[in-house]
Amino acid sequence: MGDITERTKLLEKERENSLGRESYELANQRDTRSCETPNANERSADEIGINTALEPALGRKTWKGYLILILTPLVLCPLPIFLPSMASRAGYGILIIVVYWVTEVCPLAVTSMLPLVIFPLLGVLSSSDAAEAYFQNANVLFLGGLLVFVSFEEWNLHKRIALKVLLLIGTKKQNLLLGFMLATAGISMLLSNTATTAMMIQIVKVVLNKLESCDTRQVGSISRNYHDSDECPIEQNDRVNREALSVPQNQESALYHSETVDRNAGRTDVANEAEGLEEHARQDEQKQFATALLLATAMSANIGGVGTLTGTGTNIIFAGQALRLFPKSGGVSFASWFAFAFPLMVILLLVAWVYLVILFLGAKSAISCFSRKPDQSSRIVYQIIKDEYDSLGKMSFAEIAVMGHLVVLVLLWLTKDPKFMPGWGTLFREGYVSDGAVAMLVAFSLFQFPSMMKNKHARVYSGRLALLSSRPLLDLQMVSEKLCWNVLVLLGAGFAIAAACKNSGLSTMISGGLQVLEGVPDYAIVSVICLTTTAVTEILSNTGTATIFLPVLASLAVSTHIHPWYLMIPATIACSFAFMFPVSTPANAIVYSSGRIKMWDMVRTGVGMDIICLAILLIFSNLYGSFYFHFKTFPSWAYSYQLISTLSPTNITTFH
């Protein structure tokens, strides 16, 4: 009897030790993988996003690519031959560029250099005019903003802000979803959508990996049973098993043990079946939450870019083309765009959060987010995020300095011409100091300002503050590694195409054909434009869509006597509503490349989100936009566009 009991105990102990070692090693491997995820994948994710956005071909062409490259100019050449006008020649060059952009036979940035060659050869633009489009004021504004945000990214300030927002919002699933969306959208207003998504996706992966490696249901069950009994559940199970395995001393005890074993076996089968169903439901719930969190990251990155003029390339394209096509309008400043677009961005973000919560977590989750009662999973997530935040250490001198520069930049932008009061821009000659000049001034300061102090406290020598540092907050090596120069070339191509459309009379010709819409209500025209723009930007890059549409819309607005901003601003914002496909935006591609979401999930969620965003955009533009930009009146400065187009001596010039 004693030998059997001893052997049984030894076997049980050995089994427990074996299972314990396996569980520990498995958990350790999971934790190691989870902790290594950000460092191992951060660069690859960033490269995936940038390559998806700008260099999909990267020099690798198939025979189909070479056929498109060669046959496109040959197939389209009858256009300038049989219609010998400057407008047809401009259309011929633009169609070649558009086909190369859509098919991506060349990297987008490489194709974007073609206007420097095609338009001078076709006699549409001189070489100096084409080159001027690549470095006008809008490009300078974008370059200055990118330089400031490179330093923002270099010193990990964006990650610190994102983690702090997550800790403040809360770590329940619906709160966590809102926290990720607010952090992503806020950073996307400053950094590019691609860089923001590449950074945030690493934090999302860490959270999801930790949640999957910890069986929160089992942890919660253990904690509840432990409070109900003095014995923990493991000890209870071991006691029952030892009682069942113990050898009876007489017939009655044998019968008693047999009945006990049968009852325990029946209970075990029912419990195992219930646990299996519960485990399956928990896994489905976890998959739904992972899908919602990943889609929320991409959506909020796209929506966040709407909030500021430098948030995404389409906004910069609008700012540049507005000033180029309507020089007497003065363009749209950073403050004007922010006053209009930021409230819209906040509304879109909150509606997107409610939409995702209802779709993936249930309607009750949106209400229960206000509950203060934490659950086991929220405590685990809070600890994960807190550990990530603590790993950043105390805020460094460089982070404080970069944050100071960013605050100064935003304040200078907002107070230059605040509309409701005279700004500091009135101190200088009108039209001479632009938002781009302010951005370059702050960027220049970043190249000079030290990144660290040698001692903890600043020392004063001869009345001067001694700031001793190893390197400045921004240097050329950081810029060469992190600045996306390709975007500047892409923007320049858009401005060159807009200039070609205007100088050749092509946009006037197209808008003349659209004069049949003159009797259609303005809101109906805007609705069709926004719907068309959103549909096109799902398959074409948003910058390419804005480049093609905005010159035509400007001419259409003049011919139909509609405020140009009433057509151009909603169309520009609609270019950011690309939520359906991975190829729509780099943010979508990065999220889809995680392998955790299905195409159908992105499509069905994106369709609904497109419809919701378009409805909100149209309502907001007709209400707040009509009040702020006076959309219902036709401005006097819009006649300058019509006058220039009409008096252009090259409109009917034939090709010699």
Tokens of 296: 């929320």
Q: Maximum Cα–Cα distance for the chain, whole Å?
A: 117
Instruction: Give the mean pLDDT of 234-246.
Output: 46
Tokens of 121: 């050869």
The pLDDT value recorded for residue 276 is: 62
Nearest one of 87, 117, 91 to 645, comparing CA atoms: 87
Domains in the chain: boundaries: 63-150+303-372+380-647
Give pLDDT tens digits for 479-536: 888 787 877 888 888 888 878 887 888 877 776 776 676 778 888 999 999 999 998 8
Confidence of residue 646 (pLDDT cuts 50, 70, 90): very low
Nearest one of 354, 353, 220 to 282, comparing CA atoms: 220
DSSP, residue by residue, 230-291: SS-HHHHHHHHHHHHHSPPSSHHHHHHHHHHHHHHHHHHHHHHHHHHHHHHHHHHHHHHHHH
Nearest one of 415, 406, 302, 323 to 139, comparing CA atoms: 323
Rounded distance, CA 137 to CA 604, Å?
Answer: 40
Tokens of 140: 């300078």
Give pLDDT tens digits for 420-446: 778 888 888 877 888 888 889 999 999
Give whole-number Cα distances, 175 to 167, 182, 201, in Å. 10, 10, 17
Looking at the predicted structure, is the pLDDT value of residue 45 above 90?
Answer: no
Looking at the predicted structure, is the pLDDT value of residue 625 above 70?
Answer: yes
Confidence of residue 616 (pLDDT cuts 50, 70, 90): very high
Looking at the predicted structure, is the pLDDT value of residue 612 above 70?
Answer: yes
Instruction: Give the mean pLDDT of 86-115.
Output: 86
The helix or strand, by DSSP H or E, that contains position 347, with its residue range, turns out to be helix 334-356
Rounded to the nearest 10°, the torsion over CA 388, 394, 398, 401 is 110
Global model pTM greater than 0.85: no
Give pLDDT tens digits for 461-482: 444 444 444 688 888 888 888 7
Looking at the predicted structure, is the pLDDT value of residue 288 above 80?
Answer: yes
Lowest mean pLDDT among 138-142, 210-214, 326-330: 210-214
Positive or negative: CA dihedral 64, 69, 72, 77: negative
Asked whether 595 and 547 are in contact (CB, 8 A), the reply is no
Rounded distance, CA 227 to CA 230, Å?
Answer: 7
The pLDDT value recorded for residue 617 is: 95
Asked whether 101 and 108 are in contact (CB, 8 A), the reply is yes
Mean pLDDT over all residues of the chain? 75
DSSP, residue by residue, 124-166: SS-HHHHHHGGGSHHHHHHHHHHHHHHHHHHTTHHHHHHHHHH
The amino acid occupying position 511 is S
